[in-house]
Amino acid sequence: MYISDQLVKLIERSADDLSKRWVEDVQSRPELNTYHGFDSAELYRRAHNVYSQLGKWISRETSKADVERYYKAMGARRKREGFEISEVIQALIITRRLIWLKVLAEGVLDTALDLHKAVELNNRAVLFFDRAIYFMAKGYEDEVL
């Protein structure tokens, strides 16, 4: 097994809490001004889509082309919605950060094997989010208003 099922399931089971925390975070940060007036329920839905399907997104079966297609479309949508590129990038960084904070908060890193699984999860998540940020930015740049 490449990625700890236990940790992925922890994140997916915590999708509701993580999504709520993410919405609160992005709507309270002064540098994410566009998020302040955006519909909270829609923001929650968007965050929940990532957290609840983390296993799918970071699996080896999800190709780089899958991430490219989805996140380029997302970048184009965010531009049409009036978000600044810096805001969308920061929001994705917050999404990733909350995953790691959840793993740390759960206290499941008791052994060297647990730590190894967590590092493996983090590496896969970082690769996914790096690709997501890049392709989202490309979609944003390519969108012509």
Query: By the 8 A CB rule, do 145 and 79 touch?
Result: yes
In whole angstroms, what is the distance from residue 62 CA to residue 60 CA?
5
The alpha carbon of residue 89 and the mean position of all alpha carbons in its chain are separated, in whole angstroms, by: 10
Tell me: the pLDDT tens digits for 31-76?
Answer: 999 999 999 999 999 999 999 999 999 888 899 999 999 999 999 9
Q: Torsion angle, CA of 51/92/122/111, rounded to 10 degrees?
A: -60
Looking at residue 103, its pLDDT comes to 86
CATH number of 5-142: 1.10.490.10
Predicted TM-score (pTM) of the model is 0.91
Looking at residue 63, its pLDDT comes to 94
pLDDT at 3 over 70: no
Q: What share of the chain is helix, strand, coil (3-state, %, to 5)?
A: 80, 0, 20
Domain ranges of the chain: 5-142
CA distances from 72 to 66, 87, 98 (A): 10, 16, 23
Count Cβ atoms below 10 Å from residue 17 Cβ, excluding itself.
12
63: left (phi over 0), alpha (psi -120 to 50) or beta: beta
Average pLDDT of the residues of the chain: 92
